[in-house]
Amino acid sequence: MRMSDLIMKKRDGGALDRDEIRWMIEGYTKGDIPDYQMSAMCMAIYFKGMTPDETFELTMAMLDSGDKIDLSGINGVKADKHSTGGVGDKTSLLLCPMVAACGVKMAKLSGRGLGHTGGTIDKLESFPGFSVEMSEEAFIKQVNEVGFAIAGQTADLCPADKKLYALRDVTATVASMPLIVSSILCKKLAVGADVIVLDVKCGSGAFMQTEDDAFALARALTDVGRRAGKKVVAVVTDMDEPLGVTVGNAIEVHEALATLRGEYRGELMELCLVLGTQILRESGVAADDDAARAMLEHAVESGAALEKFAAFVKAQGGDPAAVYDPKKLILAPVCLDVKADRAGYVRRIQAEDVGLVSMHLGGGRAAKGDSIDPGVGLALGKKVGDPVAVGDVLATIFARTEEAGEKAVEMLRDCYEISAEKVERGPFVKGVVK
């Protein structure tokens, strides 16, 4: 087989077969196929797309390029969740204990990642002593005993995706549906949960900016996931403004805990209830959506989910007292308000740009290996649709220095668009693709 022939075939709109896709992915992972040929292939896929069969074969070839986690030692149904990424997304921190309190095991591997804030792992490391390093045996033992674990990745899962994603990032080929589907699903399949729920974000702070694209991605993900033998449900949700009311690391843990304590009832809890409902129903522990939702609500109201969270923090070496006394999760000392300079209604909060404010403060990572400051971040006092008077606090910044804080105040004010007319918010959950 010759790579140039495969590139030509795809360039001319042909479909690659299983053997061709496997040969290409193996060759690229081993280094036999150079980046310049793979770049040309990615661009051809970007323009010509892939059939559902090709996307499935690409996913399976990438899955088979590396290690797989064996979750067979976990008793009962195992679930996993993935989000296509968004600003202020702390969903896993609530969803895992809520679902575990209802009797479904959550086995999650998480990365640190690049971006506006750290990944789930960085957020959890706000708990003094918390560790995500554990052997596969310890991971399985904890899931069995506590109901869930969130660990860092040590096994070499999907090396083909690591290499390909880095290449796509610098060749303007990230935004290709089949490449996104195979990249997301090969990693989820390598972890091996039975039920996978996917939160597909849609809006200015997401990969998929329109509803049509987000639903198309959701359908492609569920199609390939089902063909791989998994129960996969995708929920399309709004990312036109940051999720919830905080962006950062420790500050997002504060919000997650307050929400688990029942102090807030915003879209963050709604999202967890919708995602959790899919998991409980697909796992068979709830007969239908209403029963699943009632179980999740009860897990929060009874304090069972918060207790699960404390048990999880303790099992991973953190101080569980901080779950009940969040003052132990220390925020950066310079606290500055962003005040409205005009009256009206919040029309938009540019999620992507709010993420950049967090990056500027030191809460995110621009390059692999950068350190992050867990204490910096921001809290949004007003969300889309809220009325605003001159002088109202739109948001509060937590910065390490006055200088960084003052710049962040200016940056964050620019993220808010205030209109004179009343603003109606669209639905937060746009649909569920089963």
Interface segment toward ligand URA; rule CB under 6 A; list 33-41, 172-180, 193-201, 264-272: 172-180
Task: Give least dist CB 45 to ligand URA, A.
Answer: 12
Site string (151-170) toward ligand URA, x via CB under 6 A: --------------x-----
Estimate the crossing angle of helix 250-260 against helix 267-283, to 10 degrees: 70
Q: How far apart are CA 430 and CA 434, in angstroms?
A: 13
Q: Taking CB under 6 A as the criterion, which residues in 74-113 touch ligand URA?
A: 84
Task: Give least dist CB 69 to ligand URA, A.
Answer: 17
Single out the residue of 184, 292, 336, 380 in contact with ligand URA (rule: CB under 6 A): 184
Q: Annotated catalytic, 298?
A: no
Coil, helix or strand at residue 237? strand
Interface segment toward ligand URA; rule CB under 6 A; list 8-16, 176-184, 198-206, 263-271: 176-184
Q: Residues in contact with ligand URA, total (CB under 6 A)?
A: 7
**How many other CB atoms are found less than 10 A from the CB of residue 359?**
19
Coil, helix or strand at residue 108? strand
Which of the residues 10, 82, 163, 365 is marked catalytic? 82
Q: Which is nearest to 246 in space by CA: 259, 237, 236, 228? A: 259
| Phi, psi of 295, rounded to the nearest 5 degrees | -65, -40
Q: Annotated catalytic, 141?
A: no
| CB-CB contact of 104 with 146 (8 Å) | no
183 binds ligand URA per the rule CB under 6 A: yes
Which of the residues 187, 254, 360, 382 is marked catalytic? 187
Share of the chain residues as helix, strand and coil, in percent rounded to the nearest 5: 45, 15, 35
Nearest to ligand URA of 165, 264 (CB atom): 165
| CB-CB contact of 300 with 98 (8 Å) | yes
Task: Give least dist CB 431 to ligand URA, A.
Answer: 20
Q: Taking CB under 6 A as the criterion, which residues in 7-36 touch ligand URA?
A: none
Nearest to ligand URA of 119, 363 (CB atom): 119
Site string (109-148) toward ligand URA, x via CB under 6 A: ----------------------------------------
Which of the residues 161, 194, 199, 373 is marked catalytic? 161
Q: Is 1 exposed, middle or buried (0-12, 13-18, 19+ CB in 10 A)?
A: exposed
Interface segment toward ligand URA; rule CB under 6 A; list 178-186, 361-369, 386-394, 402-410: 178-186
Interface segment toward ligand URA; rule CB under 6 A; list 14-22, 173-181, 296-304, 390-398: 173-181
Q: Annotated catalytic, 161?
A: yes
Q: Which is nearest to 121 in space by CA: 96, 146, 145, 104? A: 96
Single out the residue of 180, 206, 322, 409 in contact with ligand URA (rule: CB under 6 A): 180
User: What is the torsional sign of CA 326, 331, 336, 339?
Assistant: negative
Q: Pairing relation of β-strands 344-349 and 246-248?
A: unpaired
Q: How far apart are CA 185 and CA 228, in angstroms?
A: 9
Q: Which residues of 175-191 are buried (b: 16+ CB within 10 A; e: fewer)?
A: ebbbbbbbbbbbbbbbb
Nearest to ligand URA of 204, 401 (CB atom): 204
Instruction: Select the residue whose beta carbon is closest to ligand URA and give its number.
Output: 183
Which of the residues 10, 168, 308, 382 is marked catalytic? 168
Q: How far apart are CA 326 and CA 218, in angstroms?
A: 36
Q: Annotated catalytic, 308?
A: no
Task: Give least dist CB 111 to ligand URA, A.
Answer: 9
| Phi, psi of 339, rounded to the nearest 5 degrees | -105, 145
Nearest to ligand URA of 171, 401 (CB atom): 171
Rg (CA), the chain: 22
Task: Give least dist CB 175 to ligand URA, A.
Answer: 9
DSSP element (H, E) containing 110? strand 105-110
Interface segment toward ligand URA; rule CB under 6 A; list 174-182, 233-241, 266-274, 394-402: 174-182
Q: Annotated catalytic, 116?
A: no
Interface segment toward ligand URA; rule CB under 6 A; list 41-49, 179-187, 368-376, 403-411: 179-187
Binding site for ligand URA (CB under 6 A): 84, 165, 174, 179-180, 183-184
The catalytic residue positions are 82, 161, 168, 183, 187
